[in-house]
Structures are given as C-alpha cells and as structure tokens.
Amino acid sequence: MTVYIYVVARDFGFAPNPFHGFCTLATCKPVVRRMAQKGDWVIGMGGTKLRAVGHCIFAMQVTEALSFDDYWADPRFTNKRPIRNGSRTMMLGDNIYHSCDGVWHQLDSHHSRPDGSPDVHNIKTDTGTDRVLISKHFFYFGKKAPEVPAEILEAIGYSNIRGHRVYMNERCQSLLDWLTMRQSSNLNRVVDDPLQFHQSAARYSVKADKILL
C-alpha cells in the first residue's frame, strides 16, 4: 500500500468531491490519479492560502478507479454531474468529461470558462490522465479540518511544499492510525462544508492559476 500526500491549494468541494456517498478525485492531480491503485491512500493537507497548514482536509482510500467515460456512464455518479443553477453541491459536481469520436467534451462546471464554455487548458490538464479515483472509505473534514499532531508529521518527514509526496504505508502508519482511530466517527461523512464553499459559483483557470469570480 502506498500513501500519496499533497497540499490542497483550493477547497471548493470539486477536487476532491466528497458528496453523494463517494469521495472522488476526477480533476487536477493527474500524476496522483495515474499512479494510485486500489487500497492506496490519498491525503490532502491544508496549505498556506487556506490558512490550514498542518491540518488534514481529507483522506481517501482508493476503492475503485474508472475512466472518464465509464465514470460518466455509471448511474451511481449521475448526481455528480454539475448543475450550475442548482445548490452549491450540485454546482460543484466533478463528473464533467466524456468523449465522442476522440474529442473530449466538458460540461459547464468549475473548470469551464466564466461564460460556461469549455476551457481547453483545463481539459488538457485534467484528461492528461484518463482516470477517476473513487473512495467509499474516506474522511472529509472541510472547515473542521483537524490539526495533525506535530510529532506525527515530523515522524513521516512531512513539510508544506508544492507537489505530492509518495510514502510506503509503514512510514505513514502513525498518520493512518491517527485517522482510523482518532477520527473513526467521521468515516464516510462530510464533517463540514469545504473551506471555499461560499465561492461555489467561481471558476478555476489552470492557465492563469487563479480563481475567476
């Protein structure tokens, strides 16, 4: 088992999307989406921009992985297709891609342009890895992200830097134990809203690396 840890730069409820009984990572983080296998853990730690350094935003153990087209067609995930004039949860659906004749189609979503038209740069980044990570064994804390004890972070050599880090599970056992034992009551539930849930109507541009309101 492998553990992937990265700093969550933006927490809207889009990537990851913890709603409707599944935690899914369908956009961004193409390397993690390509490498993580069933049984591996993906853990998102708070970053400086979120004022949550050292806090655990989410942790998901991969229970399944699907291609974008299979994710799109699977009835379990129909309610993860975005509805931009719906509730905040509906607006941030991450089931946004499907292909036709070799061309990727992108729904009006958090990763589209402000007018709802496809964002070619986000499409290129997201579909660079045709894989969606799915979890039915997850923790999502959002605004109530707990602070991981400093001794645990020091033991695994964690630091708040860009990119993801890869650990074998033995090295991260103390972190996994803290999650599964201290946070057991929070398994498979959205503890609180995402930190940026109030900006659910915003778009994100990978080209500009900024949130477009």
Would you give per-residue pLDDT tens digits along the chain (213 residues)?
999 999 999 999 999 999 999 999 999 999 999 999 999 999 999 999 999 999 999 999 999 999 999 999 999 999 999 999 999 999 999 999 999 999 999 999 999 999 999 999 999 999 999 999 999 999 999 999 999 999 999 999 888 777 788 888 788 999 999 999 999 999 999 999 999 999 999 999 999 999 998
pLDDT at 161: 74
pLDDT at 25: 98
Please give the order of strands across the beta sheet that includes 164-168: 138-140, 56-61, 41-46, 2-8, 164-168
Q: How far apart are CA 93 and CA 152, in angstroms?
A: 33
pLDDT at 21: 97
Residue 14's SS3 state is coil
Alpha-carbon separation of residue 29 from 100, 141, 153 (angstroms): 24, 20, 22
Query: Is 77 in contact with 17 (CB distance < 8 Å)?
Result: no
> Can you say whether the dihedral through the CA atoms of 109, 32, 60, 172 is positive or negative?
negative
Write down the domain spans for the chain: 2-212
